[in-house]
Structure 1
Amino acid sequence: MASQQPDGPFADRVVFVTGAARGQGREHAVRFAEAGADVIAVDVCEQLDSVAYPMATPEDLAETVASVEKTGRRIVAERCDVRDRDRLAAIVSRGVEEFGRLDFVLANAGIMPATGPQGREINAYVDAVDIMLNGVYYTVDAALPALLDNSDGGAIVITSSAAGLKSVSTDLGTMTHGAAGYTAAKHGVVGLMRHFAASLAARNIRVNSVHPGGVATPMVLNEAMVGFITENPSFGQSQMPLMTLPMMESGSVTDAIMFLCGPAGRYITGVALPIDAGLQLR
């Protein structure tokens, strides 16, 4: 689709989103496009042995592409595992060659490997750390040359979790390898966020993390998660927010990320921002 004249708060800007095929990642891509940005998007689009629920498909990524293009903005979208740093770098380079710049990096890709029999296998721990800690590092590192070339600065937002502020596991029944890996990775990216925030501040590149509670996406709304909660009531209780609000939709996370990337967030860096209706206080 031919690009229209950009309009909106992110006109002439470019955003790189990982895990963009559905859920929070798709919401981020489409909302940034609606605000005028062009999009570089990746998703693995295949099933991992450590994950008990159905993961995103190539058809899901194609739907993200169509949704972005409906806004009149451009998108470069490729299948990519965030554990592959070289491929990430190649895709970012292709997007920057087409769009001319990079302004925002949203390290969103993630899995929930705590549930089902898969969660009790050691590879659930390994995959969690490789994807949600190492993969975040590779994402930022692959995008960094383009961000540093941008004289306007930029913003990086890492999607952590309420599990970056408290443990997923609540007792022996929930102490799976996947729960340990998820908790370790989501805590670990707070350290990466602070590392990059301190290192890049002089170049006016802001770096923050967001920490959502349960979000109404396929990663949470699936049979494996229902079974895990049924078998482990303490886990379900631990995920209840203090505020009496409906379950969070992806758009609420996008709202916070757009704030952090936009002019209103220009003085905010090095912050781990809970978006959880008080869950971390429980």
Structure 2
Amino acid sequence: MGQFDGKVAFITGAARGQGRAHAVRLAREGATIIAIDICGPVSEYNTYDSATPDDLAETVRRVESEGGKIMAEQADIRDSAQLKAIVNRGVEQFGGLDIVIANAGICNWNRFWEMPDEQWETLIDVNLTGTWKTLKAAVPSMIESGRGGSIIVISSVAGIKPIPGQANYAASKFGLVGLTQAAAKELGEYGIRVNSIHPYGVKTPMGNDQGGLALLEKHPHYMSSLSSILTEHPLADTDDITEAVVWLAGDGSRMVTGSQVAVDMGATKV
């Protein structure tokens, strides 16, 4: 018996990286998965490779290898109608919705006064507005089920401590803190908890982004804002973030809502 037997989880950005790790682990623990990913380029200013349909197919394979059920679709979190339709199909197929992991997002680098408008606007639209649309699409089904549940918003260390060269990213991730806290207050009466997780660097294509390295090499004094107290762990594994997701999704955190959980190797403290 897994701790999430009979639970249904909706996960965005599930084609690879953190999203895939969350999907596979929750399936191992008994959850049924509704997974989406855009599976393609989002912004010309991103300097890491985009996820692909093959990546999402691999997530499906891994979830099913754990004995889990999954409905996986290619979708853009900026499209409210598309999100709602997918959630409705998933709820109809699997009988409810208990867990939401708003993981999808992008990252790119530039000094704020040198950013083209499109660079700022696209990132905010994906990371902040897209997460709001994700929650907006999912919450009615959670309320209707009457089972309570857990919503987990994947923010960033940049949502607690801004990193130079990422004003757009920091603004989006700070915005997610506000969204998380407001949603927690509005959903408490329905037994739905809402919390955010704040990773530092993670071993994913985004976490190993060479565009960030290029900017930091050009402005080396920015490096003073980047540090891991756990020096033997400059980057986290995706499973490290998944451990926090599992805790927030489960009954062990039943008294935790509106909180910011930093899985950041102490980076917000230096």
Q: Matched residues in 2 for 1:115 and 1:218: separation?
A: 18
Distance 2:207 2:116 in 1: 20
Q: What CA distance in whole angstroms lies between the structure 2 residues aligned with 1:137 and 1:222?
A: 25
Structural mapping, 1:177-256, within 5 Å: 179-246=166-233, 247-256=235-244
1:11 aligns with 2:5: yes
Map 1:123-138; keep pairs closer than 5 Å.
Answer: 123-138=118-133
Are 1:80 and 2:80 counterparts? no
Residue 270 (structure 1) aligned with residue 258 (structure 2): yes
Matched AA of 2:76: D
What stretches of structure 1 of length at least 5 have no aligned partner?
A: 1-6
Determine the structure 2 residue equivalent to 1:51. 46
Q: Is the contact between residue 50 and residue 121 of structure 1 (CA under 8 Å) also seen in structure 2?
A: no
Q: Is the Cα–Cα contact under 8 Å of residues 47 and 209 in structure 2 kept in the other structure? A: no
Contact 1:45 1:55 in 2 (8 A): yes
- Distance in 1, matches of 2:232 and 2:99, equals 30
1:98: which partner in 2? 93
Following TM superposition, by how much is the alpha carbon of 1:228 offset from its aligned partner in structure 2, in angstroms? Answer: 2.5
The answer as to whether partners of 1:214 and 1:276 remain within 8 angstroms in 2 is yes
1:31 aligns with 2:25: yes
Answer yes or no: is the 8 Å Cα contact 2:181–2:258 preserved in 1.
Answer: yes
Shift of 1:223: 2.8
Amino acid across the alignment from 2:260: A
User: Counterparts of 1:181 and 1:79 in 2: how far apart (Å)?
Assistant: 25
Q: Match of 1:64?
A: 59
How many residues were matched structurally?
Answer: 266
Shift in Å, 1:167: 1.1
2:2–2:28 CA contact under 8 A, matched in 1: yes
Runs of 4+ residues over 4 Å off in structure 1? none
TM superposition shift of 1:72? 1.0
Cα RMSD (Å): 1.5
On the 8 A contact 1:52/1:115 being kept in 2, the answer is no
TM-score normalized by the length of structure 2: 0.95
